[in-house]
Structure 1
């Protein structure tokens, strides 16, 4: 009996130590990699204004609704939002865990099962699309001017993040889970995890269009530090 108890305590101790070591390595790696900045590419064109926007935790990429290169309201219809405000000229898009988006309107609603599934590749993803009438620069919103060529790459990156049906159309998620009157959810591609978060997605979006970004980040602050 005593031997069994000793073995149980030893296993528990090893497990706890392994968890602590993993957590320290994970956070240390995230800190170091997020401090390594990758600069803009050689294209310095200023044809399209995009924005990065954060709510303090999650980063969105904001694009103009209509340009010669993309008409987002065709695949992200205004009518999929409660407000159906066709005067909105900007669309903010973010990628993330579907369970977080649809079942966790506030941090107080977070359940262990949702967090576990998100962290360990056990759930699907979603795209959150929010319309805005205008954008105002501030600490939580930064404007970035990019060229048409760079914007075309960003458009493709965003499109590839939406799961599409056989006709190539974005797949709306029918849900009452909303953050306001001008947002809607769509099925996403890829898998959320400890190593690929919503902010990792946004950071990769900036890399896709040749803008300043982190080597790797799971948080929003390092992204915005590059644009202060």
Structure 2
């Protein structure tokens, strides 16, 4: 092999190694550096007001937020019921929200249905959608479920953030017709642009910060988000 060609290959591998090292460093720092830097100061009113318990549901690459399904949350997200989400199901206890890339989210209900184009769009830039589902009783504790008790003010801020993540036509949320994972869930057009660096888990982290929690500076994976929550709260 000519020396020039061999030297070029070595440089390529060096740059790949540098890139991997930079990514690992970014993930580590993004987990251990808190956001915000200082914890919030609880007010007396917030400490005494009745709050709500929420759940962070973690999969291998995606996180959802589950809030209690009650009269208040049914009323705030009534548009989901009108679109077909079974908010009045007698066994439903939780209302689940997730944000993600439109192509990957809609076209990959299971890993066996993974296709090249949704993966390509997820790794570049894609439009976003919100997924709304319900669940019955969820077993706690378990590795894929993190529970958090919020005071009233922080819970209201979380619900506002979630509501504002839905794209609107006037005042109306916009369902994505023809797509669902089952009989009880629905997809909706969402605000924001999806990419692999700032995707579903960074949306979850933003939502939790709105609810007064501290996350890492950058949490692209469920595992790093979960670790940052344990470190900083």
The TM-score, its normalising length taken from structure 1, stands at: 0.81
Equivalent residue, structure 1, for 2:196: 194
**SS of match in other structure, 2:192:** coil
Root-mean-square deviation (Å) = 2.8
CA distance, structure 2, for counterparts of residue 69 and residue 42 of structure 1: 27
More off after superposition, 200-209 vs 127-136: 127-136
CA distance, structure 1, for counterparts of residue 12 and residue 149 of structure 2: 49
Contact 2:52-2:150 at 8 Å conserved across structures: yes
Matching residue within 64, 75, 92 for 2:68: 64
The structure-2 alpha-carbon separation of the partners of 1:78 and 1:49, relative to structure 1 and needing over 3 Å to count, comes to farther
Contact 2:51-2:150 at 8 Å conserved across structures: yes
More off after superposition, 25-34 vs 213-222: 25-34
Aligned residues: 217
Alignment of 1:31 with 2:28, yes or no, is yes
Cα deviation for residue 102 of structure 1 reads 1.0
The structure-2 alpha-carbon separation of the partners of 1:50 and 1:176, relative to structure 1 and needing over 3 Å to count, comes to same
Structure 1: give runs of 5+ residues left out of the alignment: 1-5
CA distance, structure 2, for counterparts of residue 65 and residue 84 of structure 1: 8
Cα deviation for residue 193 of structure 1 reads 1.1
Equivalent residue, structure 1, for 2:141: 138
Structure 2: give runs of 5+ residues left out of the alignment: none
Cα deviations by residue, 1:19-73 (Å, 9 ceiling, x for unpaired): 5543432232022211334475223635111111112321111112335477244
The structure-2 alpha-carbon separation of the partners of 1:148 and 1:224, relative to structure 1 and needing over 3 Å to count, comes to same
Matching residue within 131, 149, 154 for 1:150: 154
CA distance, structure 1, for counterparts of residue 123 and residue 157 of structure 2: 29
Equivalent residue, structure 1, for 2:218: 216
Contact 1:119-1:192 at 8 Å conserved across structures: no
The TM-score, its normalising length taken from structure 2, stands at: 0.79
Alignment of 1:170 with 2:177, yes or no, is no
| Structure number with higher helix proportion | 2
CA distance, structure 2, for counterparts of residue 190 and residue 176 of structure 1: 20
Contact 1:65-1:72 at 8 Å conserved across structures: no
